[in-house]
């Protein structure tokens, strides 16, 4: 799995890593920061397996969740991009994967949860659904920061229950 955006990607990635580790998977998480001190982007590459991970390098992601335009398109089997980044005419948002969806992460986060900070928790719910992890069988609440825990949980559940063609 691969995600790219700001500080929220760290929370999304760390939480996903904790969920997968709790379920007994081996997990490799690599975070890459751009040169900006404030307002920069973070890319997260996460690999998980039931076996030992010998080479934590991704040639093609199973899922790429993309919130920003900063990185070139990374090869992915499934691509989910925030449609808000496609509002500029100069940006090409052609889906370059076997499967792909455009999703209004930012629009949903603001309209349903009152802040775009919840983009990452909505995305986490979608990722957990894509990889077949039933959030009802986990106590995700224990893995989330205390601040805004109920809204974060609600956003994860929303992302998990959203249906699309993937």
What's the pLDDT at 97?
Answer: 43
Pick the more confident residue, 73 or 142. Answer: 142
Q: Per residue in 85-140, pLDDT tens?
A: 555 554 455 544 445 566 677 888 889 999 988 988 998 998 898 888 988 888 88
pLDDT tens digits for 24-33? 999 999 888 7
CB 9 within 8 A of CB 120: yes
Residue 134's pLDDT is what? 86
Q: How far apart are CA 157 and CA 122, in angstroms?
A: 8
Residue 141: the pLDDT is 84
Average pLDDT over residues 144-165: 85
pLDDT at residue 147 in the model: 84
Residue 5 has pLDDT above 60, yes or no: no
As a whole number, the mean pLDDT across the chain is: 78
Per-residue pLDDT, 145: 82
pLDDT of residue 17: 94
Contacts 24+ apart (CB under 8 A), 79-87: 80/123, 80/126, 80/166, 82/106, 82/119, 83/107
CB of 78 within 8 A of CB of 99?
yes
* 37-52: pLDDT as tens digits: 566 677 888 999 999 9
Provide mean pLDDT across the span 7-30: 90
């Amino acid at each position: 799995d691969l995600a790219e955006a700001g500080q929220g990607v760290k929370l999304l990635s760390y939480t996903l890593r904790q969920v997968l580790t709790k379920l007994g998977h081996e997990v490799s998480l690599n975070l890459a920061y751009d040169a900006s001190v404030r307002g920069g982007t973070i890319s997260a590459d996460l690999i998980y397996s039931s076996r030992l991970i010998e080479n934590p390098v991704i040639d093609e992601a199973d899922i790429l969740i993309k919130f920003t335009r900063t990185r070139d398109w990374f090869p992915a089997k499934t691509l989910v991009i925030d449609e808000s980044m496609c509002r500029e005419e100069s940006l090409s948002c052609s889906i370059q994967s076997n499967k792909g969806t455009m999703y209004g992460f930012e629009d949903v986060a603001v309209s349903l949860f009152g802040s775009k900070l919840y983009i990452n928790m909505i995305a986490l719910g979608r990722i957990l659904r894509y990889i077949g992890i039933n959030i009802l069988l986990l106590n995700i609440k224990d893995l989330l920061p205390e601040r805004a825990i109920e809204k974060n949980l609600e956003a994860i559940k929303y992302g998990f229950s959203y249906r699309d063609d993937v």
